[in-house]
Amino acid sequence: MKPGIHPDYHPVVFQDGNTGTRFLTRSTITSSRTVDWQTPDGVKTYPLVVVDVSSDSHPFWTGSQRHNDTAGQIEKFRRRYGTRER
C-alpha cells in the first residue's frame, strides 16, 4: 500500500439511537464525541458515532418486519372502483 493516501482506520464505538445498544468496531469515520469503553487492558476512550438504525433495531433483523398484503390491496381497489368493462 502506498503511504499517505489511505484514510485512518481506527476503533470506533457505534450506538443505536433507538435502542441505545453500543458496539465496538473499526471504521474510517471520525467524531468529536467520545465514550469510555471497558477493554481487557482497562478503560479506553473511543470516538462515538450515533446511528439511526442498526441490526439491533432494524425490522428485518428483529423479526418485526411488516408484510404487505398485496392481494388484499387489489381487492380493496376493485371494491372501491369496480372492474373495467371491455
In a domain, 19, yes or no: yes
| Number of domains into which the chain is organized | 1
Amino acid sitting at position 53: V
The confidence score (pLDDT) of residue 72 equals 75
The confidence score (pLDDT) of residue 62 equals 59
In a domain, 4, yes or no: yes
Q: Which domain holds residue 20?
A: 1-63
In a domain, 45, yes or no: yes
The confidence score (pLDDT) of residue 25 equals 94
Q: How far apart are CA 38 and CA 44, in angstroms?
A: 6
Residue stretches of the chain with pLDDT short of 50:
none
pTM above 0.95, yes or no: no
In a domain, 85, yes or no: no
In a domain, 77, yes or no: no
In a domain, 7, yes or no: yes
Q: How far apart are CA 53 and CA 22, in angstroms?
A: 12
Cell numbers at 67, concatenated:
408484510
The confidence score (pLDDT) of residue 63 equals 61
Cell numbers at 51, concatenated:
446511528
